[in-house]
Amino acid sequence: MKAKARLLLEDGTLFTGKSFGAEGNSVGEVVFNTGITGYQEVLSDPSYCGQIVTMTYPLIGNYGISRDDFESVKPFVHGFVVRRHEEAPSNWRAQYTLGNLLKEYGIIGISDIDTRMLTRKIRHHGVMKGILTTGDLSIEELKEQMQATPLMCTQVSTVSTPTVFSAPGNRERVVLVDFGAKSGIVRDLSKRGCDVVVVPQDTTAEQIMRLAPDGVLLSNGPGDPKDVPHAVETVRQLMGQVPLFGICLGHQLFALASGADTEKLKFGHRGGNHPVKDLISGRCYITSQNHGYTVKEDSIAGTELTVTHINNNDRTIEGLKHNKYPAFSVQYHPEAAPGPFDSSYLFDDFLEMIRNHQTDNPQAPRQAQMLAAWKAEQSDSSTKGELHYAQK
- The binding site for L-glutamine consists of 47, 221, 223, 249, 252, 290, 292-293
Which positions make up the binding site? 47, 221, 223, 249, 252, 290, 292-293
- In our burial notation (b when 16+ CB lie closer than 10 A, e otherwise), range 69-83 reads bbbbeebbbbbbbbb
CA 215, 221, 226: angle at the middle one, nearest 5? 95
Please confirm, yes or no, whether 248 is among the known catalytic residues: yes
Q: What are phi and psi of 186, to 5 degrees?
A: -65, -40
333 in active site: yes
Q: What angle do CA 164, 166, 167 make, to 5 degrees?
A: 160
φ/ψ bin of 288: left (φ > 0), alpha (ψ from -120 to 50), beta (otherwise): beta
Alpha helix (H) residue ranges in the chain: 39-43, 98-104, 115-125, 139-148, 155-159, 183-191, 205-210, 229-238, 249-257, 345-360, 366-384
Q: Is the N-terminal amide bond of 75 cis, ω within 30° of 0?
A: no
Q: Of these residues, 29, 172, 318, 335, which one is catalytic? A: 335
Which residue in 49, 71, 248, 251 is the catalytic one?
248
CA dist 274 and 281 (Å) reads: 18
Are the CB atoms for 230 and 210 separated by under 8 Å?
no
Phi, psi of 331 (to 5 degrees): -80, -20
Full DSSP string of 258-301: TT--EEEEEEEEEEEEEEEEETTT--EEEEEEEEEEEE-GGGST
Whether 141 is catalytic is: no
Alpha-carbon gap, residue 62 to 71, rounded angstroms:
19
Catalytic residues: 248, 333, 335
